[in-house]
Chains A and B, each alone.
Chain A
Amino acid sequence: KQEVTQIPAALSVPEGENLVLNCSFTDSAIYNLQWFRQDPGKGLTSLLLIQSSQREQTSGRLNASLDKSSGRSTLYIAASQPGDSATYLCAVRGTSGSRLTFGEGTQLTVNP
């Protein structure tokens, strides 16, 4: 059974700092990995999708990497801003394609 772990559970940084969020998964047989953002009381917003054949994806100040063989992904946020404060979730889709398995998230606070 796939298990997804996110470290750290919470992170507080000053504005402008670059930061890295970590995601690990136990079964490397995946189709893709997706990073989401969730604001309090809201749904999930997709940030980046990395297919299993890819090593990284970039969108603006966000860069996500994937090392499928070691079961790891990182989300790099450059020049963090208070508006980046949210919970960040990673999810992997197994090769059966039928479901996404989520980590418990990293709660990020960026202080002005």
Chain B
Amino acid sequence: DGGITQSPKYLFRKEGQNVTLSCEQNLNHDAMYWYRQDPGQGLRLIYYSQIVNDFQKGDIAEGYSVSREKKESFPLTVTSAQKNPTAFYLCASSNKGVSHTEAFFGQGTRLTVV
């Protein structure tokens, strides 16, 4: 089945650790996105990428890093510089072009600092 796969579903991080969240898509989409969702709030954009080997900061990029070495993969690293990383992280993808197609989301990764 075509779609977006995020792993792991749950992740626990100790203080001072870096952790990496995986996002893989087989929809052949050009653009991929990472969002953060906090309880009772909307989604906030962390990073996005419209093409391989290129990515841009979103609204809350501090303390996060990404890479886009392959079209189908867009991993997010939560670094120790992110002071409040506990949240629900969502990855999305879409095609880009004049009309822009639907965005599709993965099932999310819940990160908890312990």
Chain A interface (Cβ within 8 Å of chain B)?
Answer: 4, 31-32, 34, 36, 41-46, 49, 51, 89, 91, 93, 97-105
- In the assembled complex, the Cα of A44 lies from the Cα of B104 at a distance in Å of 8
* Known A43-B90, A100-B33: A34·B42 in contact at CB below 8 Å: no
Q: When A and B form their complex, which 4 residue pairs have the shortest distance between CB atoms, in order from nearest? A: A104-B42, A44-B105, A43-B107, A102-B43
- When chains A and B are docked, how far (Å) is the Cα of A98 from the Cα of B110? 25
Nearest A-chain residue to B97, judged by Cβ: A97
Task: Name the residue on A nearest B9 (C-beta).
Answer: A41
Q: Is the CB of A41 within 8 A of B110?
A: yes
When distances are taken between beta carbons in the complex, the residues of chain A under 8 Å from B103 are 34, 46, 91, 93, 100
A interface, over-half SS = strand
A99–B48 CB distance below 8 A: yes
Report the bound CA distance from A38 to B108 in whole Å.
11
Size of the chain B interface, CB-CB below 8 angstroms? 28
Q: How far is the CA of A61 from the CA of B96 in the complex (A)?
A: 29
Complexed CA–CA distance, A98 and B57 (Å)? 11
Query: Distance in Å from the Cβ of A99 to the closest Cβ of chain B?
Result: 6
CB B43 to nearest CB in A, in angstroms, measures 4
Q: Which residues of A contact B33 (CB under 8 A)?
A: 99-100
- Judging by beta carbons under 8 Å apart, are B99 and A51 in contact? yes
Q: In the complex, what distance in Å separates the CA atom of A103 from the CA atom of B42?
A: 6
Tell me the B85-99 residues at the A interface (CB within 8 Å).
Answer: 88, 90, 92, 96, 99
Contact A43 B99 (CB under 8 A): no
Q: Which residues of A contact B84 (CB under 8 A)?
A: none
Using Cβ atoms and an 8 Å threshold, which residues of chain A touch B105?
Answer: 36, 43-46
